[in-house]
Amino acid sequence: MSENPTPEIIEPTTQAPRVRAGKISSRHIEHYVAPLEETPLQSVDKVDETAQPLSMWAQAWRSLRTQPLFIISALLILLVIAVAAFPGLFTSTSPTACSLSFARQGPSAGHPLGFTFQGCDIYARIMYGAQASVLVGLFTTIAVVVFGGILGALAGYYGGWLDAVLARLADIFFALPLILGAIIIMQLPAFRENRSIWTVIITLAIFGWPQMARITRGAVIEAKSSDYVMASRSLGLSKFKTLVKHVVPNSLAPVIVVSTISLGIYIVAEATLSFLGLGLPPSIMSWGNDIASAQISVRNNPEILMWPALALSITVLSFIMLGDAVRDALDPKSRKG
């Protein structure tokens, strides 16, 4: 028998295989890899894994405090609130100390804005008139958020017949604009004979809650389908407790934005009603009443009307600017990084 032939050992080659592709040359290409110590990417791309994750509100505040729009509007609003709360700190002149001998006089020492046609100091009346206007806007917003927010949250979370009834009820109030509806309500004997800050607040809240209810309803419907809601339900938490503890807190972002803008709208609505003689009585100082009383001198002395109108415009613009800044900060799509 023949012995088994010795197997031939093939030495591995160090050359790269050549591939023919038309006329393309098959030269060996050397790749350069930089040393690790020369690449600073390991320190640039390093992530601090020990840092606590920021919540939505913390991220919004970090974005807000760097926005000039928010800073300017917040400072103006703080100034208006301080004037409304402590008007005596900004003027030593009584707004009711009027003398016809000073009627329609221009600015003088201690009276930087001049006098009305009744001889009242314009600057003092603006300082003291801020209180009624801000109170109407603030308490109307609170009433609208509480009443409309509760109805909208219940309708959006439970749905069914409650949602259908709320939708039809809101449609009835949406049929009347805010100012037109308030004019009709203020003409009723119970409101016309007892005009005060609270009657104006109740009137504006009656026609302001449907918008807040719809916004809250939409936010609750979006939040109730989240995973954390299903997790809380699977852990045995009741529907109402889930709504209060988890759904409502995560639905506040659009409510806060609309509330901030609505506060300025309600201040304008109060001034409009007072200008028409249907809002606050003349005995209560407000920017709307001052504008209404100054319309008789708009041709000869327009500055008497201009100053309270300017104070009203700056205040309303500040709340609208604040609402825009908060909306941009709470919107994840507009957030950078």
* All domains in the chain, ordered by first residue: 120-334 (1.10.3720.10)
Q: Which two tokens stand for residue 102?
A: 């000073």
Is pLDDT of 29 > 80?
no
pLDDT in tens, 61-113: 888 888 898 999 999 999 999 999 999 899 888 888 888 888 888 888 888 89
Closest CA to 172 of 117, 209, 129, 204: 209
Q: How confident is the model at residue 142 (pLDDT cuts 50, 70, 90)?
A: very high
Q: Distance (Å, rounded) from C-alpha 261 to C-alpha 322?
A: 8
pLDDT of 332: 59
Q: Distance (Å, rounded) from C-alpha 42 to C-alpha 55?
A: 28
Please state the rounded mean pLDDT for residues 143-149. Answer: 94
Are the C-beta atoms of 311 and 288 separated by less than 8 Å?
no
Q: Distance (Å, rounded) from C-alpha 335 to C-alpha 337?
A: 6
Q: What is the mean pLDDT of the chain?
A: 83
pLDDT in tens, 297-327: 878 888 889 999 999 999 999 999 998 888 8
DSSP structure string for 233-298: HHTT--HHHHIIIIITGGGHHHHHHHHHHHHHHHHHHHHHHHHTTSSS-TTS--HHHHHHHHGGGT
Which of these ranges, 33-47, 78-92, 242-256, 300-314, has the smallest mean pLDDT? Answer: 33-47
CA distances from 180 to 171, 183, 248, 272 (A): 16, 5, 32, 11
102 exposed, middle or buried (CB, 10 Å; 0-12, 13-18, 19+)?
A: middle
DSSP structure string for 58-120: HHHHHHHTT-HHHHHHHHHHHHHHHHHH-GGGT--S-TT---GGGTT---BTTBTT-B-TTS-
